[in-house]
Each structure stands twice: as structure tokens, then as C-alpha cells.
Amino acid sequence: MSTEMTLPDWVYKDRRPETDNAYFENLTRCIFQAGLSWQLIANKWSCFQKAFDGFEIPKVAAYSTDDIKRLSEDPSIIRNKRKILATLHNAREFERITKERKSFQKWLDGIDKSNNYDLVLKRLKATFKHIGSSNGSIFLWSVGEPIKHDPSMHRRQPSKIV
């Protein structure tokens, strides 16, 4: 990822998010971003924040089938049901992690980060739904982790991130 471009506020370059909710929001953004344009997600993100209660982990983790229906019918967000269900699962995983490790940051710091975060990516993919190598790498980079661009994983680098 090039640091020559102007980075948006949601990218925590050279710093880390201050709350688990901010980590959760970035993870969710990377999930919904997968396969879509950066601009589309940027244009809809304030609607995502409203639809998902500001990404407050306990609220999202407690969502019911009524909330899934509401989100699946909300034209202001991307209505991909698999991504919506992944978000609910991931909120519950964040709750579990923070109960066990006190914070997502401590959980992340407890994983071996050698070999350009290979083990971290494997743990992310095993723990969270709808996370792969590409959007997992983007997530780590967006939360201030010094992961390096891997051309074998990402064929292109974005020219603009919004």
C-alpha cells in the first residue's frame, strides 16, 4: 500500500484505533469493501454506521433475526446477506476476544507477527467470517500494523483509497 496518497480518516497509519469498536468497524468496512469500489463504500459508509448502531460491539452482537431482516432490506447499505451475517458473527467474536484478552489489541499483539503477519492472517481467517488474505491484509494495514504489500496476494495496489 502506497503511503504517497492522501489517506482517509478510517486508515490508522502509524497509529492504532483507540477502541475495539473502531477495530470492529474497520474489519466490517474491509469485509463490505471486498469486490466493490472504494468510492461506493465511502459514499455509503455513514449509512452503514447508522444501520449498525455506530458499530457498538455489544449492540451488533445482540442483533436478532428482525435486525438481519431490517439490514437485508435497507437500500442505503450493501444488502449482501452473507456479509451482514458475517458482521454479526464477527461482533460476537470480538465480544469473546475482549472477554478473554481484555481487548482486541491485546489479542492481536499476542500473535506472532514475523513472516509479514502470516500467522496473524491465518488467525483472522479462522476466527472471523468473510475474511481472506487480501481483505485481512488491508484490515491490518488500515489499523496501523506495518504489514508489507505482497504482490503474490494483491496483483494491484489502489491508486486512491477513500
Domain residue limits, the chain: 20-142
| Residue 161 binned pLDDT confidence (cut-offs 50, 70, 90) | low
Residue-wise pLDDT tens digits, 11-62: 888 889 999 999 999 999 999 999 898 899 999 999 999 999 999 999 999 9
Q: What is the pLDDT of residue 38?
A: 87
Strand, helix or coil at 112?
A: coil
Q: Give the whole-number percent of the chain exceeding pLDDT 90.
A: 73
Query: Is the pLDDT reported for residue 152 higher than 60?
Result: no
Burial label, 75 (beta-carbon count in 10 A; 0-12, 13-18, 19+): exposed
Question: Which one-letter DSSP state was computed for residue 53?
Answer: G
Query: Across all residues in the chain, what is the average pLDDT?
Result: 90
How far is the C-alpha of 92 from the C-alpha of 58, rounded, in Å? 8
pTM for this predicted structure: 0.89
How far is the C-alpha of 81 from the C-alpha of 19, rounded, in Å? 26
Q: Could you tell me the fold of the domain covering 20-142? A: Endonuclease III; domain 1 (1.10.340)
